[in-house]
Amino acid sequence: MKENDRLKRVLDYIKEKGWTYKVNEEDGCGSIDFEYRGVSYHIWEFHDGEWGADTNVRNGGGMEELTGDYEARILEILENWQ
């Protein structure tokens, strides 16, 4: 992903934590796949009239769609992990 992408703060946080991750970009939408404590997590951006992301960071077993300031919401969830 480019340095100015919407998920930059999330990616910086993941790097800071030292978690294993993979980044992709397709059709201008970024995606981050990473592992934390042996569980795989995903953040996949979409643009369907508005920007958003599908992610399982709140519940490793289930995806949810976040819109609006989704990057801040994802960071808030990650920062609250124990």
User: 76 or 5: which carries more pLDDT confidence?
Assistant: 76
Which of left, alpha, beta for 78 (phi over 0: left; psi -120 to 50: alpha)? alpha
Break the chain into its structural domains and give their ranges: 8-79
Per-position DSSP letters for 6-62, written without gaps between them: TTHHHHHHHHHHT--EEEEEETTEEEEEEEETTEEEEEEEEESSSEEEEE-SS-TTS
Tell me what percent of the residues of the chain surpass a pLDDT of 70. Answer: 94
- Segment 22-41 shows an average pLDDT of 94
Task: Kindly state the average pLDDT of the residues 53-63.
Answer: 92
Angle at 77 between CA 22 and CA 52, to 5 degrees: 65
